Amino acid sequence: MSGSKMIKNKIRTLIVDDSVTIRKVIRHLLESDPRFEVVGEAAQPSEALKEIRLRNIDLITMDLHLPQKTGAALIKEYMAIRPIPTVVISSLRPEESHLVLESLENGAVDYIQKPDQKTILANRVEILDRLFQAAQAKLVLNLKHSKQEALLSQSSNALLVIGASTGGTEAIKTLLTQLGTQIPPTLIVQHIPPFFSEAFAQRLNKLFPFEVKEAKNGDKVQENRVLIAPGGFQMRLVKKGSDFFVAIEDSPPVNRHKPSVDFLFDSVRREYTGPKVAVLLTGMGADGAEGMLKLRSVGTYTIAQDEQTSVVFGMPREAIKRNAAVKVCGLHEMGAAIQQGFVSLLSPKKGQAS
């Protein structure tokens, strides 16, 4: 392979951070991996916009604390004219979680806590893999979707469970928008750092007529309530008498994730015998694929997001490869697919797809 071809295939990266020290740390990290080429640096939004106009860029790493404007506002500005896969790399306090969520809403693919030398040594491979996957991400346009008048089915004992990772915060919001005003009990695992899950749930709770909250240990699983697993903990379903609750515990990571989709899905398979629909959305890796396969084996209606509308077609692809998905569909079709799943489970004349 020629040198020019090797350079052509590298991921051309722009580093945006107002700290010279951090720019050097990120540059050193990227240049240690032959997949990346740092083509520019910017300390201010105006410099970043100039680099974006002048250069062919495949990936941007973005700090959120910038002079002139926030990184979140800058992402929104250039995404409107030239969408480029972007990973937020920033140090934030819990009360600043909204900036990460705003960045993801504006088009960022992923968030990584700003690394120091110690963090890089311990997590170098994972950080580089996340940056590499982000560079391959599809920036999905908002598509029209059908909204269900009421997803709450004829049976009050139905359950909806959802797993997501990279690109999932916006995918979850889009999916919930399709569900109408009445929904079955819903449990969600989104790979998310500690502190951000509460802000994510609060942000969603303002948008919908049903309740959306970060799950607390012992929360009851009930109609018109969405429980989101807290970052840094595992969430599982437990049965007490005729009712169901969630247990939030400091168990080890599963598939390197905490919370883990497989951890939740496995508990649902063990504990819940009623009609249930499981959905696996965009995300890198394979978390949730095995759990979904096991859920399908006990009669669950399982749905995987398609490649076209996935930001990162990792977790859904692994589920499809394992034949774990009864149905594969686009994000904008999820509401109708979930409704179809509950109808098929509750109809005495229809069984689950084989």
% pLDDT > 70, the chain: 91
Long-range contacts of 28-36 (CB under 8 A, 24+ apart): 29/115, 29/120, 29/124, 29/127, 29/128, 30/128, 30/131, 32/124, 32/128, 33/128, 33/132, 34/6, 34/10, 35/10, 35/11, 35/128, 35/132, 36/10, 36/11, 36/128, 36/131, 36/132
Going by the DSSP 8-state scheme, the letter that residue 180 receives in this structure is B
Looking at residue 309, what is its pLDDT?
96
Residue 113 CA to residue 102 CA, distance in Å, equals 16
- Give the contacts of 19 (CB within 8 A, at least 6 positions apart): 63
Angle subtended at Cα 86 by Cα 59 and Cα 129, rounded to the nearest 5 degrees:
70
Looking at residue 250, what is its pLDDT?
98
Measuring CA to CA, how many Å separate 333 from each of 37, 153, 187, 339, 350? 38, 18, 20, 10, 21
The amino acid present at 282, given as its one-letter code, is T
End-to-end alpha-carbon separation of the chain, Å?
A: 47
Residue for token digits 């490649």?
307
pTM of the predicted model, to two decimals?
A: 0.88
Instruction: Note the pLDDT tens digit of each residue in 148-161.
Output: 555 554 445 899 99
Whether residue 4 is predicted with pLDDT greater than 80 in this model: the reply is: no
Domain ranges for the chain, please list them.
Answer: 3-135, 159-346
Q: Give the mean pLDDT of 166-195.
A: 94
The CATH-assigned architecture of domain 3-135 is 3-Layer(aba) Sandwich (3.40)
φ and ψ at 266, to 5 degrees?
-65, -40
Q: What is the token pair recorded at 70?
A: 């926030």
Looking at residue 139, what is its pLDDT?
80
Contact 342, 277 (CB under 8 A): yes
Q: What is the token pair recorded at 77?
A: 């500005």
Whether residue 37 is predicted with pLDDT greater than 90 in this model: the reply is: yes
Residue for token digits 């910017």?
42
- Taking each helix axis from N to C end, the angle separating 117-135 and 20-31, rounded to the nearest 10 degrees, works out to 60
Which pLDDT band, with edges at 50, 70 and 90, does 313 fall under? Answer: very high
φ and ψ at 86, to 5 degrees?
-135, 135
> How confident is the prediction for the chain on average, in pLDDT?
91
Identify the three-state secondary structure at position 160: strand
Instruction: Note the pLDDT tens digit of each residue in 39-61.
Output: 999 999 999 999 999 999 999 99
Asked whether this chain's domains 3-135 and 159-346 adopt the same fold, the reply is yes
Residue 124 CA to residue 120 CA, distance in Å, equals 5
The amino acid present at 71, given as its one-letter code, is G
What's the burial of 91, exposed, middle or buried (CB within 10 Å: 0-12/13-18/19+)?
middle
Torsion, Cα of 71, 72, 78, 84 (10° steps): 90
Instruction: Note the pLDDT tens digit of each residue in 101-137.
Output: 999 999 999 999 887 777 777 889 999 999 999 999 9
Instruction: Note the pLDDT tens digit of each residue in 275-291.
Output: 999 999 999 999 999 99
Q: Give the mean pLDDT of 224-244.
A: 97
Residue 125 CA to residue 62 CA, distance in Å, equals 19
Q: Give the mean pLDDT of 7-20.
A: 89
Active site residues: 165, 191, 287
Looking at residue 48, what is its pLDDT?
98
CATH number attached to the domain at 159-346: 3.40.50.180
The amino acid present at 274, given as its one-letter code, is G
Instruction: Note the pLDDT tens digit of each residue in 60-84.
Output: 999 999 998 999 999 999 999 999 9
Q: Give the mean pLDDT of 228-253.
A: 97
Number of H helices, E strands in the chain: 12, 14
Count of other CB atoms within 10 angstroms of residue 241? 5
Whether residue 348 is predicted with pLDDT greater than 70 in this model: the reply is: no
